[in-house]
């Protein structure tokens, strides 16, 4: 057996063995307790507030009207998750700054309270917790194919290619005062959704009338619903810090919050600085040129 032919056979067998092992790992992943985004740790590690804020969320849904992208066919599956309200409630609760109250399932809650009153005549249920602030907004944009790219090559019947695509999802979140309807604060965040596809192939005659052909490929896509969750957590994180900067709500320990505020202003690229006033409160001011 010629060395080249032997080398090709060894290469193919090694490739198939590696591919089988990788496939087994891909299809034997068990259920996990929770999905951790890159923002989740930052949100959970925020300094605590003086007092948790009671907020109500009636709806936080898909406002894009986008359907899943398909290059050759029409699809009626939505491009983003329809469970953004549940994701927002989870992010608010885990931040430690808010107390979300049930409003999306309010009819079911009222029905159950009515059943309790009718079944237990002497029982007195306490009134439902009211919220001074309502959170509103939604998924306001989903853009596909913002960037597409590809690269490939073949030599002597051996080659491969790679394709990349970037989509984007945007979240808008605002707080509204129940007392006068004033919009207190609003934030907007964006998260890229990356997709890539790699393939490899061998196509050559090892001898007359003996053709060797091997193909393999793998595609990886960021789950859009997980990207929506990350953008929502980033929006809650930004909303908390914007409220602290505007003194809508206050942290329990301003000294612990100061480094977070400075890092947040640096991330936004704003020419503002955070410092303490004579009362020990955080004050954010514009940076003038002579400073």
The residues near 211 (Cβ < 8 Å, ≥ 6 apart) are: 203, 204, 205
Predicted confidence at residue 98, as pLDDT, reads 95
**Is residue 112 domain-shared with residue 174, that is, in the same domain?**
yes
The answer to whether residue 35 scores a pLDDT higher than 50 is yes
Choose between 197 and 121: higher pLDDT.
Answer: 197
The answer to whether residue 26 scores a pLDDT higher than 60 is no
The residues near 94 (Cβ < 8 Å, ≥ 6 apart) are: 40, 43, 44
pLDDT digits (tens, 9 = 90+) for 199-214: 888 887 777 777 777 7
**Is residue 5 domain-shared with residue 133, that is, in the same domain?**
no
CA distance 82 to 61: 6
**Is residue 217 domain-shared with residue 281, that is, in the same domain?**
no
Predicted confidence at residue 18, as pLDDT, reads 63
Mean pLDDT of the chain: 83
Choose between 4 and 279: higher pLDDT.
Answer: 279
**Is residue 132 domain-shared with residue 24, that is, in the same domain?**
no
Taking every pair of C-alpha atoms in the chain, what is the biggest distance, in angstroms? Answer: 94
The answer to whether residue 291 scores a pLDDT higher than 50 is no
Main-chain dihedrals φ then ψ at residue 10, nearest 5 degrees: -60, -40
Choose between 240 and 279: higher pLDDT.
Answer: 240
The answer to whether residue 288 scores a pLDDT higher than 60 is no
Choose between 19 and 118: higher pLDDT.
Answer: 118
User: Which two three-digit tokens encode residue 46?
Assistant: 């925020």
Banded pLDDT at 96 (limits 50, 70, 90): very high
**Whole-number percent of the chain with pLDDT over 70:** 85
CA distance 44 to 269: 23
**Is residue 109 domain-shared with residue 3, that is, in the same domain?**
no
Domain that holds residue 27: 1-31
**Is residue 122 domain-shared with residue 151, that is, in the same domain?**
yes
The answer to whether residue 101 scores a pLDDT higher than 60 is yes
What CATH number is associated with residue 134? 3.40.50.10610
The answer to whether residue 12 scores a pLDDT higher than 80 is no
pLDDT digits (tens, 9 = 90+) for 214-253: 788 888 888 888 899 999 999 999 999 999 998 999 999 9
**Is residue 174 domain-shared with residue 232, that is, in the same domain?**
yes
Q: Which of 229, 247, 265 is a domain's end point?
A: 247
CA distance 185 to 231: 17
pLDDT digits (tens, 9 = 90+) for 104-126: 889 999 999 888 888 887 778 88
**Is residue 68 domain-shared with residue 145, that is, in the same domain?**
yes
The answer to whether residue 13 scores a pLDDT higher than 90 is no
Least confident of 68-72, 202-206, 234-238, 256-260: 68-72
Main-chain dihedrals φ then ψ at residue 168, nearest 5 degrees: -150, 140
**Is residue 77 domain-shared with residue 214, that is, in the same domain?**
yes
Based on the structure, what is the number of domains in the chain?
A: 3
Predicted confidence at residue 71, as pLDDT, reads 62
**Is residue 48 domain-shared with residue 91, that is, in the same domain?**
yes
**Is residue 187 domain-shared with residue 264, that is, in the same domain?**
no
**Is residue 72 domain-shared with residue 163, that is, in the same domain?**
yes
């Amino acid at each position: 057996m010629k060395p080249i032919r032997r080398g090709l056979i060894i290469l193919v067998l090694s490739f198939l063995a590696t591919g089988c092992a990788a496939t087994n790992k891909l299809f034997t992943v068990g259920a996990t307790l929770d999905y951790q985004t890159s923002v989740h740790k930052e949100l959970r590690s925020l300094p605590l507030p003086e007092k948790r804020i009671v907020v109500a969320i009636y709806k936080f849904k898909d406002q894009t009207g986008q359907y899943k992208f398909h290059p050759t066919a029409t699809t009626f599956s939505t491009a983003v998750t329809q469970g953004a309200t549940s994701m927002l409630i989870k992010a608010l609760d885990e931040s430690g700054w808010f107390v979300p109250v049930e409003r999306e399932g309010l009819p079911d809650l009222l029905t159950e309270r009515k059943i309790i009153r009718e079944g237990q005549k002497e029982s007195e249920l306490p009134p439902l917790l009211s919220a001074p602030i309502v959170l509103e907004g939604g998924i306001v944009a989903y853009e596909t194919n913002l960037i597409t790219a590809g690269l490939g090559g073949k030599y002597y019947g051996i080659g491969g290619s790679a394709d990349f695509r970037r989509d984007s999802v945007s979240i808008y979140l605002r707080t509204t005062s129940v007392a006068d309807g004033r919009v207190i604060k609003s934030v907007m965040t964006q998260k890229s959704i990356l997709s890539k596809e790699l393939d490899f192939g061998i196509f050559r005659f090892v001898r007359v009338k003996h053709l060797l052909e091997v193909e393999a490929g793998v595609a990886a896509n960021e789950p859009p619903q997980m990207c929506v969750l990350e953008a929502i957590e980033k929006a809650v994180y930004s909303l908390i810090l914007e409220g602290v900067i505007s003194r809508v709500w206050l942290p329990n320990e301003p000294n612990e919050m100061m480094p977070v505020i400075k890092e947040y202003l640096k991330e936004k690229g704003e020419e503002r600085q955070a410092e303490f006033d004579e009362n020990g409160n955080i004050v954010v001011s514009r940076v003038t040129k002579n400073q």
